[in-house]
Amino acid sequence: MSWPLSDLAPAGRVPVVLAPMAGVNDVMYRSICVEMGADLTFTEMVSSKALSFANEKTRRLLDTAPNELHVGVQLFGHEPDTMAREAAWVEDSLGEKLVCIDVNMGCPARKIIKKGDGSALLNTPDVAQQIVRQIKSQVSCPVTVKFRKGFAAGEDVACDFAKRMEDAGADWMTVHGRTTAQMYSGDADWDVLGRVKRSVSVPVIGNGDIKRGEDARAMVDATGVDGVMIARGAQGNPWIFPEAAAALAGEPAPAEPTDEERVAMARRHASMLDGYMGNTIVYMRKHVMWYLRGVPGVREARGALNSCVTMDDFNRVLDKILVDAADVRAREAAYRAAPGR
């Protein structure tokens, strides 16, 4: 099945997409993001080489949630034949849920680029083109690419690279406005998104520095991109999807989540994971700190959270965090209401 990008969102609004993030996009978190309004979710990036060895742990990354009707799979690698063969297997496995096969040409992690994968493909555009062409020959779904502004510090090859990907047959592309050398530091260059958008005829999704819903609207207004992809801004923050949708539609922003809502979502994520793959409280350590950003006392509770072994431990610590946070909020309110304030 071929999904045009524009069909993924309501008429008059560009799609809001959950970026592929290794170690973050577990199937249950993607389910939560769909429920909260993500138009398209991506799995964690998947190694084409590991798939070729029928690695069970890697294949499990392709599990989907019942409500996840639109899912993209991002493959990484640098061997065109292997990537094309495994892309075909992915398409057969996911069926109509699969929106696109995306090729990772943007990951800056050293362990990825030293093998010639991820953003190292910016340095081998002929190989990148061959990967796209060969995957296109093996699948019927859209083939997309995600890449960065450039590889070295100060480098800007995005427009030339985008044209080469379009020539190879890419159906749409996502551009991150940082170089590999920047990793995730500094500010994303949104100007490059607009330049890429004007240089190709296929849709372009913008990525980088969408931290609040209004940032999504600002990116679209500034660059004309056809969609927005949210990565770190969505970590522990599924509420960013209704915020972004409202901003893009010109509607009032929804209320920010309360302390109770943040804790409840962390509990729910942990409980869903526990039912899916057994005791996963260790895995929830990073997630819970993201969920509870801004809740009073959570930094002081980090040690207790990191010591949790069971769901009961986890829930007891969250109960105490809520009690302590409510006390802080009450004292803050009393101070603001005091005579003379």
Please tell me whether 149 is known to bind a ligand.
no
List Cβ neighbours of 14 (8 Å cut-off, separation of 6 or more).
Answer: 220, 225, 226, 227, 228, 248
107 a catalytic residue: yes
Please tell me whether 176 is known to bind a ligand.
yes
Alpha helices (H) along the chain: 27-36, 48-52, 56-60, 80-94, 110-113, 125-138, 158-168, 190-199, 213-223, 240-248, 259-277, 284-291, 302-306, 311-337
Please tell me whether 232 is known to bind a ligand.
yes
Question: Which residue in the list 100, 107, 141, 308 is annotated as catalytic?
Answer: 107
Taking each helix axis from N to C terminus, what angle separates 284-291 and 311-337, rounded to the nearest 10 degrees? 20
CA 324, 330, 334, 337 torsion: positive or negative?
positive
Exposure string over 126-138, b if 16+ CB within 10 A, otherwise e: eebbbbbbbbbeb
Please tell me whether 330 is known to bind a ligand.
no
Please tell me whether 339 is known to bind a ligand.
no
CA distance 130 to 77: 12
CA distance 178 to 147: 9
Point out which residues pair with 105 in neighbouring strands: 147
Point out which residues pair with 185 in neighbouring strands: none
Please tell me whether 108 is known to bind a ligand.
no
List Cβ neighbours of 85 (8 Å cut-off, separation of 6 or more).
Answer: 52, 138
CA distance 152 to 288: 34
Taking each helix axis from N to C terminus, what angle separates 213-223 and 190-199, rounded to the nearest 10 degrees? 50
Please tell me whether 326 is known to bind a ligand.
no
Please tell me whether 129 is known to bind a ligand.
no
Known binding positions: 20-22, 74, 146, 176, 231-232
Question: Which positions are annotated as active-site residues?
Answer: 107
Known binding positions for FMN: 20-22, 74, 146, 176, 231-232
